[in-house]
Amino acid sequence: MAELPVSFIQVTDIARVTPHMARVTFEADRLDAAVGTSPDQQVKLCFPLPGQDRPVLPEESDDATSWYYAFLAIPEDERPTMRSFTVRRRHPGSDALEIDFVLHGETGPATRWAGSARVGDQLGMVGPSAVYSRPVSLTDSIASSDWLLLAGDETALPAVGTLLEALPEGARAVAYLEVADAAERQSFETAGDVTVHWLHRDGAAAGQSEVLVDAVREATFLPGRPFAWLAGESGTVRSLRRHLVNERKLDKRAIDFSGYWRFKLTQDDAPTTEDMAEAQERLAEAGQE
């Protein structure tokens, strides 16, 4: 069983990337050597409950399953809320890292925390680990394709940033990125040959707009074989993937997809039938590699 690194991280700086995206810099009590070494690297953040200075967590374990059972054994009135995030950047030669938070009101524990976070606040961090997030091999993806297709909403921007910034010189990529409006656009440094299409909901609620799916459906693709990376609201990601497989005839193995969130549902809600089907398909594809 894979190891599951566990650490506590403390806020050292908070900056606004856009009106609704906060970049929080943390200093960790210690960071696993793997943190920040690859793009699209996911971790679990644990948020303290009201009245707690920092979350209550089990000690680190070499057995990820045992650690998670110990986590679930924490009394409900003490157990922290856990959510998935992407490491945006690790500061070289240090135990400092940056994580971006989408600010969308009082709709969940993570955005509530980020909206009121202060220097000195502490969270728990679990991972990175292949137990819950298969790392993206950008080198293999580029080698097996002619260009990269990236599609996602604002929750995918931290991962998109790491992917674009990791591209080798001249690698071709096209990104379709859905955000609320023009003020939410970001800039990314990259050595690749990248075209970014910013798509604005302009008043439509996140998860209810078809702008991203419509843009990909109507797009004229570059010649050659693409490798597709899709992330964001689960229903949107499923629609994009069905389009790429059924209409664009992409091999399923040439698509990396992840539903980061679900419209009107949280990570604490029970998985839907579609969620379970998606999880089973991801496991089946992983077993074929």
The domain tally of the chain equals 2
Question: Is 93 within a domain?
Answer: yes
Q: Is 70 exceeded by the pLDDT of residue 2?
A: no
Q: Mean pLDDT across the stretch 144-148? A: 93
Decide which of 98, 126, 154 is a domain's last residue.
126
Question: Is 279 within a domain?
Answer: yes
CB atoms within 10 A of CB 234: 22
Q: Mean pLDDT across the stretch 219-245? A: 96
Question: Is 47 within a domain?
Answer: yes
Q: Is 50 exceeded by the pLDDT of residue 153?
A: yes
Cβ-based neighbours of 72, under 8 Å, separated by 6 or more = 79
Decide which of 94, 126, 158 is a domain's last residue.
126
Closest-CA residue to 32 (of 120, 130, 113): 130
At 88-137, the pLDDT tens digits run: 999 998 999 999 999 986 668 899 999 999 999 999 999 887 666 666 67
Tokens at 68, concatenated: 């998670």
Q: Is 90 exceeded by the pLDDT of residue 138?
A: no
Measured in whole angstroms, how far is the alpha carbon of residue 58 from the centre of its chain?
A: 24
Decide which of 126, 153, 172 is a domain's last residue.
126
Give me the count of residues in the chain.
289
Residue 155 and residue 272 in one domain: yes
At 249-288, the pLDDT tens digits run: 999 999 999 998 876 555 554 445 554 455 556 545 544 4
Question: Is 131 within a domain?
Answer: no
Residue 271 and residue 167 in one domain: yes
Residue 257 and residue 193 in one domain: yes
At 169-225, the pLDDT tens digits run: 999 999 999 999 999 999 999 999 999 999 999 888 777 789 999 999 999 999 999
The fraction of the chain above a pLDDT of 90, given in percent, is 68
Question: Is 1 within a domain?
Answer: no
Residue 189 and residue 237 in one domain: yes
Beta bridge partners of 233: 261
Residue 113 and residue 150 in one domain: no
Closest-CA residue to 176 (of 148, 139, 134, 207): 148
pTM of this prediction? Answer: 0.88
Residue 258 and residue 121 in one domain: no
Question: Is 200 within a domain?
Answer: yes
Sheet holding 193-200, edge to edge: 193-200, 172-179, 147-152, 226-233, 255-261
Residue 113 and residue 229 in one domain: no
Question: Is 132 within a domain?
Answer: no
Residue 19 and residue 43 in one domain: yes
Range of the domain at 276: 138-288
Better-scored residue on pLDDT, 154 or 63: 154
Question: Is 39 within a domain?
Answer: yes
Beta bridge partners of 198: 177
At 50-78, the pLDDT tens digits run: 899 999 999 877 788 889 999 999 999 99
Tell me, what CATH number does 79's domain have?
2.40.30.10
Cβ atoms of 132 and 44 within 8 Å: the answer is yes
